[in-house]
Chains A and B, each alone.
Chain A
Amino acid sequence: MISLHQLLLLSAVLFVIGIAGFITRRNIIIMFMSVELMLNAANLALISFANHSGSMDAQLIALFVMALAAAEVAVGLAIIITVFRNKQTVNVDELNILKW
């Protein structure tokens, strides 16, 4: 049986990888995936706690986060595609104005 401790450690590692990816990469798709990674790290933490405490509440939130992440992916990718069409780039450093 994997202990809660180990699960949380994994979650934290995943989260930190997500953060590191988000702040070091310039490609907006990679950054987007890093965000997903962070969300899933959070989900993992939630489920671990649910398993530990035997309460369903945290699982509910995890489900909620997953639905949210799906919606976010849909909208986010659509925006990225539109941006790419307009700017011919997915480098965030070049996307620093709000209107053009």
Chain B
Amino acid sequence: MTELSQSNILNWIVFLPLAGALLLFLLPGGSRAVLRWSALLVSTATFVVSLGLLCGFQTGEAGMQFVILKPWIESWGISYHVGIDGISLFLVLLTTFLSPVVVLSTWSAVKEKVKTFMILLLVLECGMLGAFVALDMVLFYLYWEVMLLPMYLLIGVWGHERRIYAAVKFILYTVAGSLLMLVGFIYLFWLGKQSLGYYTTDLLELYRVVVPYQAQFWLFLSFALAFAIKVPMFPFHTWLPDAHVEAPTAGSVILAAILLKMGTYGFIRFAMPLFPNASLAFTPLVMSLAVIGIIYGALVAMVQPDLKKLVAYSSVSHLGFVMLGLYSLTASGVVGGIYQMLNHGISTGALFLIVGLLYERRHTRLIDQFGGLSSRLPIFAFFFMIATLSSIGLPGLNGFVGEFLILLGTFGSAHPGYVYFAASGVILSAVYMLWMFRRVMFGPLENPENKNLTDLNLREILVMLPVTVMMFWMGLFPGAFLSRIEPSVQQFISQYHQKAAVAVQARAEEDRLAKTVEFSTLKEPAVSHE
């Protein structure tokens, strides 16, 4: 790995929110305005600092950049290793970009326990950023769990009626997955010791471990399950609608926009490159589940009476696209998958913000309570329309670029047949999104409770404007994004195939040995003790 930059900008980005959380901790809890402004300031500052990544990033460079590598617990080979490449660069930026937006969106939505809320948001941001930049398994696991608790509390404390059920469901699902991953990781750690001769938890070193076939199978399952729950892939998705519906707006936005990306990111960063053969063997299954998710999510979204549930199920559908792209293992598919992660973050984030704006005004999310809002709320209608179209994947907006590349990539993959099913998701997304839009925005304004709604105020416009601008920007000028993502993806794909080939060779060798040499000699790789 080339270390291009020795600067510790990543430390700044990850720990600035944490420092902000500490600062907020010291502030008096009564002055909400001060708390809100400080949280906004901290998250904006983080975003500004993170723009430095964009400036310093070497386009065309595939490896890790901005690397910081310090020994941490040396006897176990645990190090503080962070860095980003084209795959994680924009996910980090997405996180820092959305955090101020989310803070701003809570201005009037969160009135109780503002201090705790803001602290949790900032800790959450730190956890997410850390997970995206961590290149050490222990570090990653640490951040992975750090994300979990604030989210649990956000849902459980500031949520709606069935918040406790949703929060518990959320945490049980995710913890069940992450514990499996931990077990898998410990096994991998021992395998690494056998193969490399020393203990290490460094991801880049673990990439070099050629894991035996049989072990790959179980290890992949343990990792993939953890990430599949997070994505969430069909059929592990049922925590998502509940969590979304019960979470406060800010929680939903972060959950949809960033936390779900942890799952897909986990696949491309961990599950796939660490265990390529098992991953290859599971490809048809994963792609099938992805396609089922696309269609199933869309169909179920179509008939939801609750706005948030509708958007939540649409996430299941969109993330099906992402998984399909990642598993196509073609440059365009994987790049499209990563691009679609960003798109989904922006568009679905925006949709949740919009539902939040409606909820603040009417205290309901039921679609049939609305209708005809367009004439009453023209500015709101504009933002809602753009977000809807972006989610549908209208060309010219961001969603199209991702979806198109994914379909293109999948078609060029080893399993082109999935495209025909996935593309039908394109039709279905138009059905459910436009149906929802029509029922909420069009028609006569009949419900008397909707007659006095006020249009967006300046703060709310400021919340919606950045995401809307991003939708256009990412749709019209994807070049700046794609060119930075592609080299890392190319490297990912070539290493993936290389490593898979090595394992195949190793197995062939083993088979040959098994035929010629006595069976007993095969038992030799016993765990050697220090």
A and B touch in their complex, CB below 8 angstroms: no
Could you tell me which B residues sit within 8 Å of A by CB distance? none
Residues of A within 8 A of B (CB): none
